[in-house]
């Protein structure tokens, strides 16, 4: 029971991170119908910016921790968003209306490019940072001394994700941007006719997705304390799985899917085998795509004739 | 009385809350051109999609009977319907293999025959005589149909480079290369000029008269319908509102109402 | 003629420089390095400065060319190019970037002049490339024979270990490219996990040869069959999926196989892989060792030669050459057969295929299995050539490289794949210094090809059959 509870907490924190990344996949898919394969690497860039940020702050003498975290979050979001914007502008926008696999291939190229770029400029070695937020609550203790911990870091992750989700949902539901996005999802030509700036809307979608991925990157850096240039691949696949599982195109779906993947991974690693935990993620992806490609919150598609 | 070629009974197709085809029943005879008419959105294309296995009907029965046997179309997969029940179709918005040549388009339609002749792979890889012979025959059939639609000199063109009218005709020729017993044409005259349209009428009549192939025709242009169809079925909002010969249908008050109601849309 | 960039053009240049600054400042400017007390930071502000400057110059030249202002387009391009030689650029990559970028900008400016001031659009570029591609494609038979002659003669002209090793590598990738081409180029399915079949082939060979003591010539077909079986297993559930989902699922399968290879110690040896994979014999007649351990005679004694380790390499070279040629022969034939046409039709329009009675699942499955078989052959060859295999050799990057070869070459074009392999595998071998930037260039290359030439370099399709012969009437395309 205690063990179970601990895995639940771990799974929830992990799942929140996947959910934040999954939103980027789902939004882009919703609006231009492509899988942004490079999104995992955008998240990786966010994580690296966090490493750079925390290291730099540490070198200049440090700051009051909440201030440092806030500062790094903002820096990472801004700079990662720039990457998101450029990726769309350079690799995807020229391909609208090209043949159907072109954007996906371009995205794979982008992913390889980003990974190797970071490897080149930041080095291939694992980057460790000293823990930023330490400590937590001890919730329970079992007779044999096993304790259930809820670390401050986990609280930060879960709360921050919740807050972002609320802000973000409001943004989509209430603002002109959200309306333009939904209009573009339905029909880009019509949207353009009624005066919506389609290019800008799509750009903004990428920017927002990248910023959220950056938050995930910062959280992961603080949570695990290590980052390398390759983390984007696995995290990307898992987050994509989350998006599919929740029903690609659906925002709450992405969050639910993320949490599910986080939980499954945590429990799988705890009760079955840690070595095969990545296989678990891939297997879920494969199964989900085969048996329920429209996801938990999506509706089946009919082949358009 | 012999069994009709096609027997549609109580066919219903729903998309969520929308009933696109609502309990439609009719029959089509072997040597007839049966026209399906109705305003935009009446459910004509959806009816075709049910017949050809692209949509699974919500309910109803579709029975096709010809020299090869009796087929319950609503239970079959799309590719089986084309291959076994021998129903061929064209599409409202033309679907050719645009990057391939005209001749290749017609050969793809004869895939099963050629596949068998190539003994699946071996015969083709080693170019055995039996395979070469089958391929020659397939090319001959393709050439015959190209002549029939008046495109014999364009066999090596890319399908995507053909003028619009030729694309429409090529799609019909391709459908006929599958050796069908029933041909479903979805607005074949759309976008054609009057001369092309007249030629098309002749082509459709030839298909009926010389190839023993029943024709199911969706058409907007009433003059075409009046000219060539033996039997007319009128749909409106998914329901069959009239059926009969062209003349009977033309004077049916319900049909007039359905069309007049949509008059402006028709103009546009 | 104007002497200055338009207002918009100038703004574009500044905008690009600003964005470049934003991207590069933290990632390039602040380099995290290991130090005694955890991470430290090296400042590389000069690199950022130069990079932004070079990017600005390049953009300025491109914009000037677009606006037909040669007095800016040429000098900017030349300065960029020269700075590659002269300026104190802080990194090798920047030198490379300055040279390559300067060269591209200069070419662009010259093309602009040649075209009488009309800038190069994506369309005009595509048409120009089409003309070139059509010429090359038309010359394919001659080119192929010349290449064939060169390739056959190579071991006698250059009996050099390094040359042969690189050639073997290139031939292996050509073979893999031709194999994958059946799925991607013909059937139009984006398979991101092709390396899985390569791995199945390699491990099948290694395990069969070691555990059952079977010879290479028995294992080769078995490896192909097992890979095809793998293709069947993977293909069955996923082939109904939509294009992009299919791609991701194949990626997933590729990774699953790799993770299984790493973790299934008892059979695969885990991350350490399998050592001492048996080397091939000379058709079961002789061995390529100085003193054969078994009952076979030694190759050099059999032919009365002096012993040389190069004999084996030459043998391997011809082995992969023959394998590749077999794959080529089969691919070319398949394309002209009903099944090949059906694959291409499926790539063009699946719905129309269904209406013609084509069973899409079966067709895709066939493509998958045939392609997998070829991958399996290549894998078996790889295992016997290396004598050692481990999961390291079968990562996603490997799949991506093979895919890039197919995509770059021109999907469906046999010759295109040869050219692409020479570019992707051959060039980096020649310019060893650039090894570091190979994958980087590779990523950029994939994006650029998709943007400028989405169907690949040699993207002209030769019809599988012609009614009126090559020069017949109306052979317009
Ligand atoms: N795949 C589908 N999903 C939802 N609605 C559909 C689908 N296909 C057709 N419909 C709807 O069914 C109705 C009939 O359409 P259709 O058969 O194309 O009409 P017609 O061919 O007579 O003009 C329309 O209201 C159309 O929107
Ligand atoms: Mg219609």
Give the residue-averaged pLDDT of A92-97.
88
Which residues on A lie below 8 Å from B49 (Cβ)?
305
pLDDT at A302: 62
Our answer on whether the CB atom of B265 is closer than 6 Å to any ligand 1 atom is no
Q: Give the nearest ligand 1 atom to B48 CA.
A: 17
pLDDT tens, residue by residue, B163-203? 999 999 999 999 999 999 999 999 998 888 888 888 999 99
pLDDT at C130: 84
Nearest beta carbon to residue A285 from set C27, C192, C248: C248
**Cβ atoms of A244 and A35 closer than 8 Å:** no
**Cβ atoms of A85 and A210 closer than 8 Å:** yes
- Taking the C-alpha atoms of residue B171 and residue B164, their distance in angstroms, rounded to an integer, is 11
3-state secondary structure C355-399: HCCCCHHHHHHHHHHHHHHHHHHHHHHHHHHHCCECHHHHCHHHH
In the reported structure, the alpha carbon of residue B41 is separated from the centroid of ligand 2 by a whole-number distance in angstroms of 7
Backbone angles phi and psi of B163, in degrees to 5: -65, 160
pLDDT at B264: 46
Asked if C353 is an interface residue toward chain B (Cβ–Cβ < 8 A), one would say: yes
- For chain A, list the strands marked E by DSSP: 127-128, 136-141, 147-151, 226-227
pLDDT at A92: 93
3-state secondary structure C427-467: HHHHCHHHHHHHHHHHHHHHHHHHHHCCCCCCCCCCCCCCC
Q: Atom 16 (ligand 1): residue with closest C-alpha?
A: B43
Backbone angles phi and psi of C35, in degrees to 5: -135, 180
DSSP symbol at A299: -
CA-based nearest residue to C209, from C386, C392, C399, C394: C386
Give the residue-averaged pLDDT of A207-223.
94
Beta-sheet pairing, B69-72 with B59-66: antiparallel
**Cβ atoms of A87 and A42 closer than 8 Å:** yes
pLDDT at A32: 85
Q: How far is A68 from chain C (nearest CA, A)?
A: 17
CA-based nearest residue to C342, from C327, C357, C326: C357
Q: Is the confidence at residue A123, as pLDDT, over 70? A: yes
Q: Atom 18 (ligand 1): residue with closest C-alpha?
A: B45
pLDDT at C477: 41
CA-based nearest residue to B97, from B177, B191, B49, B161: B161
* A180 or A88, greater pLDDT: A88
Give the residue-averaged pLDDT of A190-212.
91
CB contact under 8 A, C27 and A233: no
Reduced to 3 DSSP states, what percent helix, strand and coil does chain B have, rounded to the nearest 5?
45, 25, 30
In the reported structure, the alpha carbon of residue A177 is separated from the centroid of ligand 2 by a whole-number distance in angstroms of 35
Our answer on whether the CB atom of B15 is closer than 6 Å to any ligand 1 atom is yes
- Taking the C-alpha atoms of residue C140 and residue C133, their distance in angstroms, rounded to an integer, is 10
3-state secondary structure of A71: helix
Q: Is the confidence at residue A88, as pLDDT, over 90? A: yes
Q: B243: left (phi > 0), else alpha (psi -120 to 50), else beta?
A: beta
Our answer on whether the CB atom of B20 is closer than 6 Å to any ligand 1 atom is yes
Q: What tokens appear for A259 in the block?
A: 């949490």
Dihedral sign, Cα of residue C352, residue C355, residue C358, residue C359: positive
Side-chain half-sphere exposure of A21, counting CA atoms within 13 A: 39
pLDDT range class, residue B268, cuts 50, 70, 90: very low
Rg of chain A, C-alpha, whole Å: 19
Q: The pTM is what?
A: 0.88
Question: For C239-288, where are the alpha helices, taking DSSP H only?
Answer: 243-263, 265-268
pLDDT range class, residue B267, cuts 50, 70, 90: very low
Nearest chain C residue to B93, by CA: C352
Q: What proportion of chain B, given as a percentage, has pLDDT over 70?
A: 96
Backbone angles phi and psi of C390, in degrees to 5: -150, 165
Lowest-confidence range among B85-94, B232-241, C27-36?
C27-36
**Cβ atoms of A139 and A69 closer than 8 Å:** no
Angle between helices A152-174 and A198-224 (to 10 degrees): 170
- Taking the C-alpha atoms of residue B208 and residue B215, their distance in angstroms, rounded to an integer, is 7
Which residues on A lie below 8 Å from B14 (Cβ)?
none
- How distant is the alpha carbon of residue C201 from its chain centre? 19
pLDDT at A155: 92
Q: How far is C332 from chain B (nearest CA, A)?
A: 9
pLDDT at B1: 54
Which residues on C lie below 8 Å from B91 (Cβ)?
351-352, 355
Beta-sheet pairing, B18-28 with B6-15: antiparallel
Q: C80: left (phi > 0), else alpha (psi -120 to 50), else beta?
A: alpha
Q: Is the confidence at residue A114, as pLDDT, over 90? A: yes
Residue ranges of C 149-208 with Cβ closer than 8 A to chain A: 188, 190, 192
- Taking the C-alpha atoms of residue A123 and residue A228, their distance in angstroms, rounded to an integer, is 9
Interface test with A, best of B16, B17, B44, B54 (most A CBs within 10 A): B54
Q: What tokens appear for C373 in the block?
A: 């078989």
**Per-residue pLDDT for chain C (477 aa), expressed as one digit of tens each?**
577 888 898 999 999 999 999 999 999 888 888 888 778 888 889 889 999 999 999 999 999 888 888 888 888 989 988 888 887 878 778 888 899 899 999 998 888 888 877 777 778 888 888 888 888 888 888 888 998 999 888 888 888 888 899 999 999 999 999 999 999 989 988 899 999 999 999 999 999 998 888 888 888 999 999 999 999 988 888 877 877 788 888 888 888 888 888 888 888 888 888 888 888 777 777 777 777 777 777 777 777 777 777 888 888 999 999 999 999 999 999 998 899 999 999 999 999 999 999 998 899 999 999 999 999 999 999 999 988 999 989 988 899 889 989 988 877 788 899 999 998 888 777 776 667 788 888 888 889 988 888 888 887 788 888 887 644 444 444
Asked if A290 is an interface residue toward chain B (Cβ–Cβ < 8 A), one would say: no
């Amino acid at each position: 029971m205690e063990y179970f509870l601990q895995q639940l907490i771990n799974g929830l924190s992990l799942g929140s991170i996947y959910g934040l990344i999954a939103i980027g996949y789902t939004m882009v898919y919703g609006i231009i119908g492509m899988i942004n394969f490079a999104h995992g690497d955008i998240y990786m860039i966010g994580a690296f910016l966090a490493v750079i940020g925390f290291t730099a702050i540490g070198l200049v003498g440090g700051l009051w921790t909440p201030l440092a975290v806030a500062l790094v979050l903002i820096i990472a979001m801004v700079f990662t968003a720039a990457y998101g914007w450029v990726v769309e502008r350079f690799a995807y926008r020229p391909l609208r209306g090209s043949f159907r696999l072109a954007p996906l291939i371009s995205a794979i190229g982008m992913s390889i490019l980003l990974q190797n770029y970071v490897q080149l400029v930041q080095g291939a070695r694992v980057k460790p940072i000293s823990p930023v937020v330490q400590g937590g609550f001890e919730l329970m203790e079992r007779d044999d001394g096993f304790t259930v911990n809820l670390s401050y870091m986990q609280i930060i992750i879960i709360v921050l994700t919740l807050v972002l989700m609320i802000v973000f949902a409001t943004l989509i539901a209430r603002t002109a941007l959200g309306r333009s996005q939904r209009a573009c999802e339905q029909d880009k030509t019509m949207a353009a006719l009624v005066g919506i700036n389609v290019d800008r809307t799509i750009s903004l979608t990428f920017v927002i997705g990248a910023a959220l991925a950056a938050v995930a990157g910062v959280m992961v850096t603080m949570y695990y304390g290590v980052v390398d240039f390759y983390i984007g691949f696995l995290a990307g696949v898992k987050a994509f799985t989350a998006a599919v599982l929740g029903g690609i195109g659906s925002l709450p779906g992405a969050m639910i899917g993320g949490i599910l993947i986080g939980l499954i991974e945590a429990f799988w690693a705890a009760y079955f085998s840690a070595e095969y935990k990545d296989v678990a993620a891939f297997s879920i992806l494969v199964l989900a795509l085969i048996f329920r490609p429209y996801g938990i919150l999506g509706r089946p598609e009919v082949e358009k004739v | 009385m012999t069994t009709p070629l096609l027997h549609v009974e109580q066919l219903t197709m729903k998309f969520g809350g929308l009933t696109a085809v609502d309990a439609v029943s009719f029959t089509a005879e072997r040597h007839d051109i049966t026209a399906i008419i109705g305003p935009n959105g009446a459910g004509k294309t959806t009816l075709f999609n049910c017949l050809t296995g692209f949509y699974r009907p919500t309910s109803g029965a579709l029975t096709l009977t010809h020299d090869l046997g009796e087929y319950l179309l609503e239970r079959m997969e799309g590719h089986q319907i084309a291959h076994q029940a021998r129903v061929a179709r064209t599409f409202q918005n033309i679907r050719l293999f645009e990057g391939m040549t005209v001749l290749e388009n017609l050969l793809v339609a004869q895939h099963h025959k050629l596949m068998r002749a190539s003994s699946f792979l071996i015969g083709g890889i080693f170019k055995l005589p039996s395979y070469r012979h089958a391929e020659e025959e397939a090319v001959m059939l393709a050439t015959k149909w190209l002549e029939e639609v008046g495109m014999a000199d364009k066999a090596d063109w890319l399908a995507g480079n053909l003028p619009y009218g030729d694309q429409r005709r090529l799609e019909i020729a391709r459908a006929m290369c599958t050796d069908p017993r029933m041909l479903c044409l979805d607005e074949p005259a759309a976008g054609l000029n009057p001369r092309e349209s007249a030629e098309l009428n002749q082509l459709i009549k030839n298909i009926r008269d010389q190839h023993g192939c029943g024709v199911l025709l969706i058409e907007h242009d009433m003059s075409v319908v009046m000219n060539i169809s033996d039997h007319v079925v009128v749909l409106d909002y998914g329901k069959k509102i009239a059926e009969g010969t062209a003349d009977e249908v033309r004077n049916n008050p319900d049909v007039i109402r359905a069309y007049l109601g949509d008059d402006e849309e028709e103009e546009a | 003629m104007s002497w200055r960039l338009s207002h918009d053009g100038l703004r574009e240049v500044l905008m690009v420089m600003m964005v470049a600054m934003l991207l590069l400042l933290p990632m390039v400017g602040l380099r995290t390095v290991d130090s005694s007390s955890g991470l430290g930071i090296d400042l590389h502000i000069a690199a950022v400065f130069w990079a932004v400057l070079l990017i600005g110059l390049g953009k300025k030249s491109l914009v000037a060319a677009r606006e037909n202002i040669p007095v800016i387009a040429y000098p900017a391009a030349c300065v960029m190019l020269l700075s590659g030689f002269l300026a104190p650029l802080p990194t090798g990559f920047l030198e490379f970037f300055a040279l390559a970028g300067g060269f591209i900008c200069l070419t662009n400016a010259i093309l602009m002049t040649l075209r009488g001031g009309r800038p190069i659009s994506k369309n005009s570029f595509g048409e120009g490339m089409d003309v070139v591609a059509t010429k090359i494609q038309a010359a394919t038979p001659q080119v192929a024979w010349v290449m064939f002659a060169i390739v056959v003669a190579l071991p006698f002209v250059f009996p050099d270990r390094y040359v042969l090793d690189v050639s073997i590598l290139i031939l292996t990738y050509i073979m893999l490219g031709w194999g994958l081409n059946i799925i991607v180029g013909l059937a139009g399915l984006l398979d991101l996990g092709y390396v899985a079949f390569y791995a199945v082939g390699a491990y099948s060979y290694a395990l069969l040869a070691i555990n059952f003591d079977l010879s290479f010539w028995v294992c080769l077909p078995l490896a192909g069959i097992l890979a095809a079986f793998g293709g069947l297993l993977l293909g069955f559930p996923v082939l109904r999926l939509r294009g992009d989902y299919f791609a991701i699922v194949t990626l997933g399968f590729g990774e699953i196989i790799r993770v299984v290879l790493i973790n299934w110690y008892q059979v695969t040896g885990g991350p350490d892989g399998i050592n001492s994979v048996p080397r091939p014999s000379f058709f079961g007649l002789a061995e390529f060792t100085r003193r054969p351990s078994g009952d076979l005679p030694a190759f050099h004694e059999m032919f009365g030669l002096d012993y040389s380790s190069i004999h084996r390499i030459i043998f391997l070279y011809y082995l992969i050459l023959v394998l590749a040629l077999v794959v080529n022969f089969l691919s070319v034939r398949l394309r002209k057969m009903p099944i090949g046409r059906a694959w291409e039709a499926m790539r063009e329009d699946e719905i129309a295929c269904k209406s013609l009675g084509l069973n899409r699942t079966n067709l895709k499955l066939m493509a998958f299995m045939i392609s997998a078989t070829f991958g399996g052959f290549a894998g078996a060859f790889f295992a016997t050539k290396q004598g050692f295999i481990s999961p390291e050799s079968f990562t996603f990057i490997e799949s991506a490289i093979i895919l890039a070869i197919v995509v770059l070459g021109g999907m469906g074009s046999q010759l295109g794949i040869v050219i692409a392999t020479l570019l992707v595998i051959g060039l980096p071998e020649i310019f060893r210094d650039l090894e570091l930037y190979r994958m980087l260039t590779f990523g950029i290359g994939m994006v650029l090809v998709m943007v400028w030439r989405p169907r690949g370099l040699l993207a002209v399709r030769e019809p599988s059959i012609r009614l009126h012969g090559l020069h017949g009437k109306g052979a317009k395309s």
